[in-house]
Amino acid sequence: MDAWLEFIEKVPPKAFIVAGAFLRLFLIAVAEVQDYLAEVPYTDVDYQVFTDAAESMAMGMSPYEGRTALLAAEATRYRYTPLLAFILLPNTWLHKVRSYQVRALMIAAHGLQAFLQHKGSSCNLGLALWLFNPFCFTISTRGSGESVVVVLIYVARPFMLVVIYCLEVRQNWFLAAVCYGVAIHWRIYPAVYALPIAIFLVGSGQIQNLLRLVAFGTVSAAVLFGLGLMCYQLYGYEFLECSYLHHGRRRDPQHNFSVYFYPVALYMEGAFQGQVPDVARYAALPQIFLCACFGASTRAGLAVAMLLQTLAFVATNKVLTAQYFVWWLCLIPMALPGLRSHARLLRSLLVWMLAEVHWLLWAYLLEFRKLPVRPVVWMASLIFFAAHLHILREVWRSSQVKVHAS
């Protein structure tokens, strides 16, 4: 592991960025072939949902109107902000253009490089973890919209300004507040970062810091509610239901990485005969508790606190698909300056990847070979949950060692 770290440090940062861009363009080309020939398509069904929403918008319809029988089904409805469909309007005249993910990931890479260099930390390991992480480059090139969320978390304008960079280095709270409001509008989960951001802004508790916190909250709320009001005026209650309210009531009995999927499936199938409550109803309780605890741990840096929060949030979510991994993977490079042992973190990531591959094997046998292995898939989800907790423990321990060492 140490030899690999030494090799990574010798590579020029620009070479990482260029190679990362070409890798993603190559995978987009591979997707066209695999979608046509293979049993398991490369492109995620979400991309079809996004494109359908953009085509509906181009025709003057609501993006929430599925125009085909498949995309009108409840399980595949468009459940995102109309802004995502709007930026995909070029797909209505260009076939399956996924270059927006490449641009988004490259913008994030430039922002990451600037942040790490300004913090006095080597940017090579961070860039390598971001650009060549198999989950990041496959999720983005499969057509996931999470790369755009990452840019909204990372970047306030192309190539330079990063939200965390603005707060920790430049003290540009206004620009960070605007981008933070857009990010929450895009996906709800960045709201969990409000606690570490608030603690960071308050600092020593001086009156000017308190005023800065109030101003940051006011600007973020104004952007969030302004965008929400605009979308509501365009698409009414359907926007609120599909973008926000649905996620609070969502129950997914289909197999996924979450430890909740099998109990939820049994509950919805009536296996418990009403004697056991719906566990998904209480799934938010451990999320709220863990996010509150880790959100207060800003001594090792804002990025570390956000990483701990996101790891806990994703691991305990009632529905967990592969695109959610990008939420915390994107924060690891920025958290590196606040962590002591990078080698231990990399080893925990390898264990996590093995647990994910183990889960995929059983899920393939269940979904494509129709073998009765659903309980085994759930056991694989439990192992995967333990791997998530292992990374969480390593990040926490490494951050505490870093704090005490400094």
Question: pLDDT: is 199 or 134 the higher one?
Answer: 199
Side chain identity at 169, as an amino acid letter?
V
C-alpha neighbours within 13 Å on the C-beta side of residue 116: 24
Q: Rounded CA gap, 238 and 64, in Å? A: 7
Each residue of 29-86: pLDDT tens digit?
888 788 778 777 777 777 778 878 888 888 888 888 866 545 555 556 788 889 888 8
Question: What's the pLDDT score for residue 94?
Answer: 59
Domain that holds residue 400: 250-405
Residues 6+ apart with CB under 8 A from 149: 183, 186, 187, 190, 326, 327
Higher pLDDT: 38 or 315? It is: 315
Cα within 13 Å of Cα(193), Cβ side: 32
Range 249-272 average pLDDT: 85
Q: What is the count of structural domains for the chain?
A: 1
The whole-chain average pLDDT of the chain stands at 81
Backbone conformation region of residue 255, classed left if phi is above 0, alpha if psi is from -120 to 50, else beta: beta
Give the confidence band of 216 by pLDDT, cuts at 50, 70, 90: very high
Task: Please state, in angstroms and rounded to a whole number, the distance separating the CA atoms of residues 69 and 48.
Answer: 13
| Residue 259 domain-assigned (yes or no) | yes
pLDDT at 5 over 70: no
pLDDT tens track for 135-162: 777 777 776 655 554 444 443 333 234 5
Q: Answer yes or no: is pLDDT of 250 > 80.
A: no
Residue 297: Cβ within 10 Å count: 18
Residue of 358 and 279 predicted with greater confidence: 358
Nearest to 111 by CA among 140, 91, 131, 83: 131
Calculate mean pLDDT across residues 193-211: 87
In a domain, 272, yes or no: yes
pLDDT, tens only, 345-375:
989 999 999 999 999 999 999 998 999 999 9
Least confident of 69-78, 254-263, 303-312: 69-78
Q: What's the pLDDT score for residue 309?
A: 94
| Per-residue pLDDT, 156 | 32
- Give the residue among 346, 353, 372 at the shortest CA–CA distance from 257: 353
Does residue 98 form part of some domain? no
pLDDT at 124 over 70: yes
Give the model's pLDDT for residue 195.
93
Asked if residue 93 is part of any domain, the answer here is no
Asked whether residue 289 is assigned to any structural domain, the reply reads: yes
pLDDT at 136: 74
Residue 219 lies in a domain: no
Among 120-124, 146-150, 340-344, 392-396, which stretch is predicted with the lowest mean pLDDT?
146-150
| Interior angle at CA 395, CA 390 and CA 399, nearest 5 | 150
Measured CA to CA, the distance from residue 179 to residue 219 in angstroms comes to: 10
Give domain status of residue 262, yes or no: yes
Least confident of 17-21, 109-113, 165-169: 109-113
Position 366 scores a pLDDT of: 94
Amino acid at 278: D
**Is 311 a domain residue?**
yes
Give phi and psi for 2, each to the nearest 5. -65, -35
**DSSP-derived secondary structure for 153-177:** HHBSSTTS-BHHHIIIII--HHHHH
**Which residue type sits at 281?**
R
- DSSP-derived 3-state class of residue 155: strand
Q: Mention every residue, 6+ apart, whose C-beta is less than 8 A from residue 164.
A: 115, 154, 302, 303, 306, 334
Average pLDDT value for residue range 255-279: 83
Helix, coil or strand: residue 300? coil
Mean pLDDT of the 209-236 span:
94
pTM of the model: 0.86
Closest CA to 394 of 308, 334, 290: 308
| Alpha carbons 318 and 156: distance in angstroms, whole number | 31
What integer is the mean pLDDT of 155-179?
Answer: 67
Q: Which one, of 167, 200, 393, 366, lies nearest residue 297 by Cα?
A: 200
